[in-house]
Amino acid sequence: MCGIVGYVGPRQAQEVVVEGLRRLEYRGYDSAGVALVVPSEGGGGRIAEAKKAGKLANLEKVLAEDLLPASHTGIGHTRWATHGAPNDVNAHPHLGHERRVALVHNGIIENFAELRSRLEADDHVLVSETDTEVVAHLVELQVESGVDLTTAMQRVCQVLEGAFTLVAVDAHDPDRVVAARRNSPLVVGVGEGEHFLGSDVAAFIEHTREALELGQDQVVVITRDGVQITDFEGRPAEGRRYHVDWDLSAAEKDGHDWFMRKEIFEQPKAVADSLLGRRSQEGLLQLDEMRLADDEIRDISKIIIIAAGTSFYAGMVAKYAIEHWTRIPVEVELSSEFRYRDPILDYSTLVVAISQSGETADTLQAIRHARTQRSKVLAICNTNGSTIPRESDAVIYTHAGPEIGVASTKGFLTQLVACYLLALYMAQVKGTRYGDEIDEVMSQLEAIPAQIESVLAGAQQVYDLAEDHVGTRSVLFLGRHAGYPVALEGALKLKEIAYLHAEGFAAGELKHGPIALVEEGLPVLCVVPPRGRDQLHEKMISGIQEVRARGARTICLAEHGDTKIEPYADVLIRLPRVPVLLQPLVATVPLQLFACELATLLGHDVDQPRNLAKSVTVE
Ligand code: AGP
């Protein structure tokens, strides 16, 4: 939530900051703003700022009409509102009492009410409803007392509670930007004679691919020539340098109307990349970032998967695969619920945290809780250097590349791949599957990218179907076994971007209530299991018959060659033939295309749906 940018260097700061905000806008788009330090001849300097409610385009319009003065030091923000409505006044940056310090913030300052009352008692006038403005005043009080901006930031961070990334500039100190982080993302971009700050590397990827990851509770100062890191007490600290393995083209739409559509079509490559290098020369599975010894894996007696939203559905698929291949019991839990049910955890429990962004606050808090109970934590994540993998004992990185559309697509498919790899790896170590069985599944996985291509080649059929449903207000999705999470994911995609009432159900649950929703003409998308599992297939057909008998229009996703389904399908979308456990990798794709096309036809902003943000860094 919220995108943050900072810059010091020879370029015009306004351009660099606004460009960075454009790349981070997927993180929040309620309002946007920039602040620049404008040096004055006799020293001193002043802050020039502009901010505007709504999308970044609104701010750009303001800036086009009234360009800010030239400056080489600036900060910017794109907001997902927590405290106060998304209007011009609450937009960041916020200024201190004397307009000397400008500051942007991501996160929540939990003790802001108390801090605000103290400031107000001292006659500070706070114009916004935000927690951020309080921090701007506090930092400014410190610099006014004579310390530099770095010390001011360190001191203020010591009194703040909650989660925050803060980035500030001081009008009297035009050559530096100072930032701090606690439980909220921030990376440094290392250039030549210039440095950048961003909520993620997309903010500066067109200028540099060299990045520096910061630890928890650290303050960082960037100048043209260097980066200096300390903890909140001012003790020197170090960041971890890394090279970003994707470039600007990955963060561009590449001729597509939406990032989401581009990302759907990137899935064959994303899946293939996530499988690359996972087999040793001897043919054994290897997971480089696993960091858990074989003995530790053999000791695991229970797995708890924690995740949110789409990642949670990947976890549901993982349960089927892990239990089937390793015989280890698996629980799947929403990360927002996990801590509050007092889960039973010990050293023999492996907690698997699935998070595309690696920053989801609920998931982060859940893994911290697990670690206090001596459980090992393995993260499945797409974002190198993010907090969740950093705080985990082991990590499997997915290699989807940057996912910018708020609705996750390639993130989901690559999470599935990582879950299958984890399951197979554990089966290898524990000896619950023979090597040739593991090889066979790996070969099936390696065939998936081409099979996804074939689904994508049929996109037009799905687009036509979406066109037929422009007037629809409600859609149901049915699945069984690994098709059940696919049904949930299909429904979530429609809710997120088409704003339709959409529900996914396990087909067997229909007659326990949901069937009452079925009325004449209601579209029901049915994920039909492959025929290898005849019982499953037959049961699914019974469910389809039940809704059809009550007037539903059945849209069935079934594998090529499945003729039994034909009499029960009003519309038939063919899927490649894959084993039941791997079917989510192909069955999800038409549902993504359906949601993307329908939302487009309805005139919605597919990449930036209302009320949502890509990275949910508040609980
Ligand atoms: C997916 O389309 C959603 N935008 C959302 O449900 C997302 O999957 C969820 O917020 C979890 O995010 P994470 O994977 O970054 O932790």
CA distance 518 to 403: 35
**Nearest CA residue ID for atom 4, ligand 1:** 407
> Pairing state of beta strands 210-213 and 240-243?
antiparallel
Tell me what pLDDT residue 89 has.
Answer: 94
pLDDT in tens, 361-396: 999 999 999 999 999 999 999 988 789 999 999 999
Active site residue 614: yes
The DSSP 8-state label assigned to residue 530 in this structure reads P
Tell me what pLDDT residue 16 has.
Answer: 98
Structure tokens at 604: 């919605």
Say if residue 579 is exposed, middle or buried (CB neighbours under 10 Å; 0-12, 13-18, 19+).
middle
- C-alpha 416 – ligand 1 centre gap (Å): 14
Task: Kindly report the length of the chain.
Answer: 619
Taking the alpha carbons of 90, 96, 98, 100 in that order, is the dihedral positive or negative? Answer: negative
The DSSP 8-state label assigned to residue 285 in this structure reads B
- Ligand 1 and 309: CB distance under 6 A: yes
**Nearest CA residue ID for atom 6, ligand 1:** 309
Tell me what pLDDT residue 340 has.
Answer: 87
Taking the alpha carbons of 196, 249, 451, 609 in that order, is the dihedral positive or negative? Answer: positive
> Pairing state of beta strands 218-222 and 46-53?
unpaired
Contact (CB, 8 A) for 167 and 177? yes
The DSSP 8-state label assigned to residue 238 in this structure reads -
CA distance 346 to 246: 38
**Nearest CA residue ID for atom 5, ligand 1:** 309
N-to-C CA span, the chain: 11
Longest dimension (CA), the chain: 84
> Pairing state of beta strands 187-190 and 177-182?
unpaired
Contacts of 224 (CB under 8 A, 6+ apart): 8, 9, 10, 72, 175, 193, 194, 195
Say if residue 368 is exposed, middle or buried (CB neighbours under 10 Å; 0-12, 13-18, 19+).
middle
The residue type at 285: L
- Ligand 1 and 357: CB distance under 6 A: yes
Q: Locate tokens 């076994």: which residue?
A: 481
Ligand 1 site-directed mutation target among 310, 352, 355, 419, most atoms within 8 Å of CB: 310
**Nearest CA residue ID for atom 9, ligand 1:** 309
Contact (CB, 8 A) for 188 and 4? no
Looking from the CA of residue 415, the nearest atom of ligand 1 is: 14
- Alpha carbon separation from 338 to 386, 394, 396, 418 (Å, rounded): 21, 20, 22, 22
Ligand 1 site-directed mutation target among 184, 356, 383, 596, most atoms within 8 Å of CB: 356
- Ligand 1 and 496: CB distance under 6 A: yes
Low-confidence ranges of the chain (pLDDT < 70): 533
Question: How far is C-alpha 8 from the geometric centre of its chain's CA atoms?
Answer: 28
Tell me what pLDDT residue 253 has.
Answer: 83
Q: Locate tokens 């949502």: which residue?
A: 612
Write down the pTM of the prediction.
0.85
Residues forming beta bridges with residue 557, ordered by sequence position:
527, 573
The residue type at 327: R
Contact (CB, 8 A) for 35 and 22? no
The DSSP 8-state label assigned to residue 409 in this structure reads S
Looking from the CA of residue 409, the nearest atom of ligand 1 is: 2
Q: Phi first, then psi: what are they for 236, rounded to 5°?
A: -60, 145
Active site residue 262: no
- Ligand 1 and 139: CB distance under 6 A: no
Structure tokens at 262: 């581009």
- C-alpha 406 – ligand 1 centre gap (Å): 8
- C-alpha 484 – ligand 1 centre gap (Å): 18
- Ligand 1 and 616: CB distance under 6 A: yes
CA distance 2 to 445: 36
Looking from the CA of residue 407, the nearest atom of ligand 1 is: 2
- Ligand 1 and 308: CB distance under 6 A: yes
Is the bond preceding 185 in cis, omega lying within 30 degrees of 0? no
- Ligand 1 and 311: CB distance under 6 A: yes
> Pairing state of beta strands 523-527 and 553-559?
parallel
Tell me what pLDDT residue 43 has.
Answer: 72
What is the Rg, in whole angstroms, of the alpha carbon atoms belonging to the chain? 26
Contact (CB, 8 A) for 70 and 15? no
Contact (CB, 8 A) for 433 and 324? no
Taking the alpha carbons of 597, 599, 603, 608 in that order, is the dihedral positive or negative? Answer: negative
Ligand 1 site-directed mutation target among 380, 616, 617, most atoms within 8 Å of CB: 616
- C-alpha 278 – ligand 1 centre gap (Å): 26
The DSSP 8-state label assigned to residue 580 in this structure reads G
CA distance 32 to 59: 6
**Nearest CA residue ID for atom 10, ligand 1:** 309
Closest C-alpha to 605, from 498, 500, 502: 498
Q: Pick the catalytic residue from 2, 419, 526, 596.
A: 2
CA distance 322 to 419: 8
Say if residue 84 is exposed, middle or buried (CB neighbours under 10 Å; 0-12, 13-18, 19+).
middle
Structure tokens at 589: 């794709």
**Nearest CA residue ID for atom 8, ligand 1:** 310
- Ligand 1 and 310: CB distance under 6 A: yes
DSSP per residue over 309-366, as a string?
HHHHHHHHHHHHHHHHHH---EEEEEHHHHGGG-----TTEEEEEEESSS--HHHHHH
- C-alpha 492 – ligand 1 centre gap (Å): 10
- Alpha carbon separation from 275 to 363, 396, 554 (Å, rounded): 25, 11, 35
Looking from the CA of residue 408, the nearest atom of ligand 1 is: 2
Residues forming beta bridges with residue 212, ordered by sequence position:
188, 241
